[in-house]
Amino acid sequence: MVLQMNEQSKIEDPRNYGPEVVNDLRNLLTVGVSSRRDPRRENFYEVESGENTFYIHISPVNGDVMLLGKWLSSQKDLCIPAAHLAA
């Protein structure tokens, strides 16, 4: 599913990720971005950029976006195999 927001929509940042993260999300949503709908929650989505995944809620009333979470898209690549750890 491709999500795209209009210019009048706001992005709320209740967890204080900061203006740079909000602008990154805004840029993605302005041009349109692939997303995955949360199967357990209505109007909640995961949006992936090259390096980050955003978890958002889109208001069905006014189309405003609430940024609820952000993490590295490739966190599995950050895991260090146990063989490389030293005690």
Sign of CA dihedral 26, 32, 36, 41: positive
pLDDT given for residue 6 in this prediction: 83
Q: What is the pLDDT of residues 35-64, one digit of tens each?
A: 999 999 999 999 998 889 999 999 999 999
Prediction pTM value: 0.81
C-alpha R_g of the chain:
15
The DSSP symbol for 15 reads T
Two structure tokens written together for 40 = 């357990």
Of 8-17, 46-55, 74-83, the poorest mean pLDDT is in: 74-83
Nearest partner of 24 among 33, 35, 14, 15, judged by Cα:
33
Fold for the domain defined by 2-84: YaeB-like fold (3.30.2310)
